[in-house]
Amino acid sequence: MRTIPETIKQLLIINVLFFIGSQFLGDFSNDLLALHYFENDKFIVTQVFTHMFMHGNLYHIIFNMIGLWMFGSPLVQMWGKNKFLFFYFSAGLGAASLQLFVYYLEIQSVFSLVEPNGVSFETLKIILSEGSYNPSILQYISEENLTSAYSTYNTTLVGASGAIYGVLVAFAFSFPNSELMLLFPPIPIKAKFLVPGLILMDLFFGFSSFSLGPIAHFAHVGGALSGFIMVWYWRRNQFNGNRWN
């Protein structure tokens, strides 16, 4: 732990404390701290920050914290504490924004099917929040689409993955030829090839019907895109090498 930058160490500790606390508080912590869809009554503005410290299970937090330590540490040493924290939270906000926008498009696509038949958005919100489908609304939309919209409306986002995808992009920009060892298969691959490959995988799973589980793929893409824009802008304006201590 002595070799870990203080900023990374503090982020690791906060994430672990949030994870331990959520195990005791259960649904209460999820309702309060996880990020809800912004038109859901459970949405609170502070959730756009607090959700970055929440994690679904032990494997989730372990993988995220390893990524934060591995790829965040050299960036802190290069940029300084303040610049890294600005970057980290900005990437996390970008990740949440894109995922919520995708949710918005899905909800609106359902609304566009029922609105011509006199179903207001307030009525649709009640239906989606309660999950009780009046037979009359099933005249205009399939139960499968309505169930999918219900899941989207009531889903929650947790985890630092989006912010860490931004960190991954910044690492690949700064250290493109660093060789990283894959787990499966156990072969080395340069960061400049690995990171774009991960993003392409998320795009594939995000747009396809295939799934690796309850993963917010567009949050990963949003974090990566936000990270790319910031690093590109800093490099273009010769800010990338500047430290914000």
Question: For 56-92, how does the pLDDT look when each residue is reduced to its tens digit (9 = 90+)?
Answer: 899 999 999 999 999 999 999 999 999 999 999 999 9
Maximal C-alpha separation, the chain: 64
Quote the radius of gyration of the chain (alpha carbons, Å): 20
Amino acid in position 93: L
The token pair at 105 is: 């498009």
Q: Helix 217-236 and helix 191-207: axis angle, to 10°?
A: 140
pLDDT score at 243: 65
243 belongs to a structural domain: no
Task: List the domain range (segments joined by +) for residue 72.
Answer: 6-236
pLDDT score at 245: 64
The beta-carbon contacts of 1-6 under 8 Å, at least 24 apart in sequence, are: 4/69, 4/73, 5/72, 5/73, 5/76, 5/77, 5/81, 6/81
Q: In 84-204, which ranges are E strands?
A: 156-157, 179-181, 188-190
Percent of the chain exceeding pLDDT 70 equals: 92
Residue 239: band (very low, low, confident or very high) from pLDDT cuts 50, 70, 90 = low
pLDDT score at 225: 97
DSSP structure class, residue 36: E
58 belongs to a structural domain: yes
245 belongs to a structural domain: no
241 belongs to a structural domain: no
Exposure string over 103-132, b if 16+ CB within 10 A, otherwise e = beebbeebbebbeeeebeeeebbebbeeee
94 belongs to a structural domain: yes
Rounded to whole angstroms, how far apart are CA atoms 94 and 186? 32
Judge whether residue 136 has pLDDT over 80.
no
How many structural domains does the chain have?
1
pLDDT score at 200: 93
Beta bridge partners of 61: none
Judge whether residue 137 has pLDDT over 80.
no
Judge whether residue 1 has pLDDT over 60.
no
pLDDT score at 2: 55
pLDDT in tens, 172-196: 999 999 988 776 677 888 999 999 9
- Kindly report the CATH number assigned to the domain that includes residue 142: 1.20.1540.10
The token pair at 101 is: 């926008």
Rounded to whole angstroms, how far apart are CA atoms 34 and 48? 8
146 belongs to a structural domain: yes
pLDDT score at 240: 60
123 compared with 223, residue with greater pLDDT: 223
Exposure string over 179-217, b if 16+ CB within 10 A, otherwise e = ebeeeeeeeeeebeebbeebbeebeebbeeeeeeeebbb
195 belongs to a structural domain: yes
197 belongs to a structural domain: yes
Around Cβ 66, how many Cβ atoms within 10 Å?
Answer: 12
Judge whether residue 241 has pLDDT over 70.
no
What are the angstrom distances between the C-alpha of 136 and each of 6, 121, 149?
A: 59, 15, 17
Rounded to whole angstroms, how far apart are CA atoms 124 and 221? 29
